[in-house]
Structure 1
């Protein structure tokens, strides 16, 4: 028997990582499993989650190690979390299928290598089939096709939870690389076992294939959500998409499904999926009045939005001023005390020095 809280590291298997713009699936991993639980009530302390801890039931998984731009996948033997009936209901286990790598996973591996910190079982686009259902899990039954996204838990005590905005909760738990309130680490879909509150498990229609559905749980919702939220889901709107990678190609497909027109002429909205630093002003110039541009990726440094050229120059917005020389400053101060200025003094330092 393997001692508890220990990982057995088997020989590693290295894959070439896809680039930012690649659609390669060479390192997709199949046959993962998940565990679902349900809290008894809102605000209940969740002592269980997506961590592999303290059980004798072992399951294989893959953990990212190594340097940048390479997948170093080493099989581990890990222990899936067991439910504590005092805190949460019995669990339901779900057998999961393909979930492929994305650029942020490469970044995660690289950062851990640079910081000399242990890596974890990754992946947050997970799809599979329920194989076991706990007695208090209400939403799923054995055989249901389900998926898990980037969250597996939240505080559940704020309005955000009721409004299905759990990602804005002050205390949320990411699918991998995060910590539960008991301090244990969350592990993701590169394993045959993981744990998630049933509130964070998504039902997949029978008509959708599991392998094609897994990316929809992150890439799909990332572009679908702003299209719906900002009203760009109406027929005959003109919607532009910047970038045609994993995010961009799905934005195009959803916009087409909503009935959007081609991108000729001024646009009602733009979904910008580019992760590289790029100027926004040319894109904003393509929008209609009250058009919307939504940034859904994360560039390495903040994008600059030139507000003055957008508003002040375009609409000739400027203050009322009175230009004065430096030797008039004392008089100007007296006038300020008398509120005798409309509305700003501007001191011409340059010409004063020339004199």
Structure 2
């Protein structure tokens, strides 16, 4: 309904612009009507003389604008388009000539207040022909520009729809991946401490609420995204042994007032806990989020690096590939995703400009 109203509004705007332009064209000659010896006798003839050309211009313009350009030129029938317009120009010239020579009496036509010599034979017809050809070019230019704007708008809309569909697909891939890893963590926690497993289920319900509802929105307040990350980290703490050191620095108020696409940082945080902790070996996870400049959020994560067996490798790259593609679609040219590792430490850093 709203789109129909918008379309109707644009249509009326176009009509208004056309009416305004042609009103100016038809009023303009009144300012320059020739003043001959007998003004009263010449007034009606001058109006006819001066308006025959604008009338021919308007006819040729709208014949092209409403019919010839769409039905002939845009269908690659260029020669036919040129022939039609040559015929129109010739007919318009004949009409102008007949009005000048037959409607306006010859005796009045030669009454001039000053001895200005008449134009050479054929000069006025040549001048009118050039004007009419320019009108054809103008109508074609306007129509081609309108078509280009419409085509470009449709292309951008199609591209946006394709991007939204791909983002939805990526999110649908991420949600089961996230849930699978979290349930695995709770499963392992049940064997260690049933009490902590109960707390983990409560924390998981908060996370799932965010994933299921907020994740459907294109952007969420930064405060909610940071809270989600904090809740996930607290859930992961429940299953970790004492020899695993977790240092977290996520200041409140980072990028306050800004919005961000949901679940962008969780992939890096999730990978740090999944691949950077050990049940038997001393390990660590360091998570630091900061705002190096207004509207720029940075997530810097370091964790222990352990060799992966074949079971751990299966599906481990889905999250990072997914994240990289989402960033390309959502923040092209406004993000930096970097990861490096050595034999003991893995580091990942994501910076996003939200401005």
Q: Return the TM-score normalized by structure 2.
A: 0.19
The structure where strand makes up a greater share of residues is 1
Q: Return the TM-score normalized by structure 1.
A: 0.19
The structure where helix makes up a greater share of residues is 2
Structure of higher RCO (CA pairs closer than 8 Å, 6+ residues apart) = 1
Structure (1 or 2) with the larger CA radius of gyration:
2
